[in-house]
Copies of this chain bind each other. A is one copy, B any other.
């Protein structure tokens, strides 16, 4: 098992960067849910590479075809399968990657694990391109959640050390939450966004790349989603978030800041807001005991700098067992953080909808 999320929903991702196609199957979607293909396409477009300053000019044919699972535009109870054809396949020789692995990439570990049988072209199954499959599944979950008044939004929290204004973890509203997703450069504060883009341009000029962080929030959640211990919302989201190849950390609510806090500071006091139970702060990130408490679910993911950089790097020849130099050709995103924003939303949406399906049963 490698590429399967297995809960009430089973999301199974397949494909390699230069295989005939990539795609996803989703088993467990209730029958009768509309899939708005136009809306889904717009969501996928946020992940697709554009011709802008921070992503590659490559053109991805990210139009998914639904092979099954729909009838008359609605889910029909059968497993949903969607495929995106790879149009740009096997265009060059990748065999050198089996000998001289790229630092920061999975070339070396794949070579050792699969004994040279792995598909190296374009990164194979390890390519960031596979997150398009995640976005198909997550985009559909987002649509279903939105019809239930649950909204998922994310923005760039930081790039190259430059922070964006975070969401208000207590009061973030739908408009603020979804605003970054409507922008070409998904930030809350466009001034910060401009500085980030300048930093990206500078890194690109140096044949280098930049890492960052993404903040995601989910609002409109009922109380009670998630389970104790192994299937809490943290566990579920974490498992899905780390499916995005570049993610190296995840934190909920106050996250690593809890290491500096006292209980009296970190505990979120309850109060009644009319008939609703709320908390005055939200260091818990909307999760207590693994279970949603009705406050915004807030988390952040750390995204490493694109490992493919134009500078000469140290590597080894696996066949000759000696040190060597490596220069990676081709064009690569100097910063994948902007394109990873919808992927983070997708991961969150799958985790949340999966938990919601469980709760609908329990009631």
Decide: A6 and B6 in contact? CB cutoff 8 A: yes
Using known A-B contacts A289-B110, A362-B30, determine if residue A255 contacts B259 with beta carbons closer than 8 Å.
Answer: no
Using known A-B contacts A27-B4, A211-B260, determine if residue A76 contacts B302 with beta carbons closer than 8 Å.
Answer: no
Interface hit among A42-50, A186-194, A318-326: A318-326
Decide: A76 and B211 in contact? CB cutoff 8 A: no
Interface string of A18-48 (1 = CB under 8 A from B): 0111110101101110000000000000000
Bound Cα distance A65, B159 (Å):
41
Bound Cα distance A268, B107 (Å):
13
Bound Cα distance A279, B101 (Å):
12
- Find residues 268-319 in chain A having any chain B CB closer than 8 Å to their own CB: 268-272, 275, 277, 279-280, 283-285, 288-293, 300, 302-309, 311, 313-316, 318
Task: Say if the beta carbon of A160 comes within 8 Å of chain B.
Answer: yes
Task: Say if the beta carbon of A219 comes within 8 Å of chain B.
Answer: no
Q: Which residues of B contact A359 (CB under 8 A)?
A: 113
Decide: A259 and B31 in contact? CB cutoff 8 A: no
Task: Say if the beta carbon of A87 comes within 8 Å of chain B.
Answer: no
Interface string of A328-359 (1 = CB under 8 A from B): 00000000000000000000000000000111
Decide: B20 and A303 in contact? CB cutoff 8 A: no
Task: Say if the beta carbon of A263 comes within 8 Å of chain B.
Answer: yes
Q: Which residues of B contact A313 (CB under 8 A)?
A: 264, 267, 269
CB nearest to A2 among chain B residues: B227
Decide: B83 and A67 in contact? CB cutoff 8 A: yes
User: How many copies of the polypeptide does the oligomer hold?
Assistant: 4
Q: Which residues of B contact A261 (CB under 8 A)?
A: 210-211, 304-305
Task: Say if the beta carbon of A60 comes within 8 Å of chain B.
Answer: no
Q: Chain A interface mostly helix, strand, loop or mixed?
A: mixed
Task: Say if the beta carbon of A229 comes within 8 Å of chain B.
Answer: yes
Bound Cα distance A265, B313 (Å):
11
What is the number of residues of chain A that contact chain B, defined by CB distance less than 8 Å?
A: 155
Of A21, A32, A71, A293, the most chain B CB neighbours within 10 A belong to A71
Task: Say if the beta carbon of A170 comes within 8 Å of chain B.
Answer: no
Interface string of A64-105 (1 = CB under 8 A from B): 011111110011111111010000000000000000010111
Contact of A248 among B75, B126, B234 (CB under 8 A): B234
Decide: A305 and B108 in contact? CB cutoff 8 A: no
Decide: A77 and B114 in contact? CB cutoff 8 A: yes
Decide: B13 and A229 in contact? CB cutoff 8 A: yes
Decide: A228 and B71 in contact? CB cutoff 8 A: no
Using known A-B contacts A77-B110, A109-B223, determine if residue A307 contacts B267 with beta carbons closer than 8 Å.
Answer: yes
Using known A-B contacts A2-B229, A79-B14, A213-B259, determine if residue A309 contacts B264 with beta carbons closer than 8 Å.
Answer: yes
Q: Which residues of B contact A232 (CB under 8 A)?
A: 242-243
Interface hit among A51-59, A117-125, A143-151, A172-180: A117-125
Contact of A125 among B2, B78, B121, B245 (CB under 8 A): B78
CB nearest to A284 among chain B residues: B104
A-B pairs with lowest CB-CB distance, top 6: A106-B289, A361-B361, A249-B251, A2-B227, A78-B125, A209-B263
